[in-house]
Amino acid sequence: DAGITQSPRYKITETGRQVTLMCHQTWSHSYMFWYRQDLGHGLRLIYYSAAADITDKGEVPDGYVVSRSKTENFPLTLESATRSQTSVYFCASSDFGLPLNEQFFGPGTRLTVL
């Protein structure tokens, strides 16, 4: 599929388990981002990546790990899930040729940690 996709769309897990959320984009965009969206907090940046093998922390990185071995993929791992990580997670991408930081978002993954 063209564009930016996320999988799974819905996930229920238990406290302490490891969970990986996948993000794939077909545009070869250089920049990729992970956000979480919670009522009362809006969209908050977890991690971002400027290119393959280059990642950096955002506003709320604790408890999350990212990797980017290929330009098109940017997985987000919760190493030991906690209830406070229940949220909707969005992946986004952007690139040098796009005007003024325009970002394209995936459809989101709704994660519930029991």
The one among 17, 41, 70, 83 contacting other proteins by CB under 8 A: 41
CA angle 21–26–32, rounded 5-degree value:
55
Residue 97 touches other proteins, criterion: CB under 8 A: no
Instruction: Annotate each residue in 3-32 with x if it binds other proteins (CB under 8 A) or - if it does not, as one string.
Output: ----------------------------x-
The one among 55, 64, 74, 108 contacting other proteins by CB under 8 A: 108
Residue 45 touches other proteins, criterion: CB under 8 A: yes
Tokens representing 55 are 């990642």
Q: Contact at 8 Å (CB) between 8 and 108?
A: no
Residue 102 touches other proteins, criterion: CB under 8 A: yes
Query: Nearest to residue 35, comparing CAs of 22, 48, 24?
Result: 48
Q: Contact at 8 Å (CB) between 114 and 15?
A: yes
Alpha carbons 40 and 55: distance in angstroms, whole number = 27
Residue 100 touches other proteins, criterion: CB under 8 A: yes
Q: Which segment (18-26, 43-51, 60-68, 72-80) binds other proteins by CB under 8 A?
A: 43-51
Residue 92 touches other proteins, criterion: CB under 8 A: yes
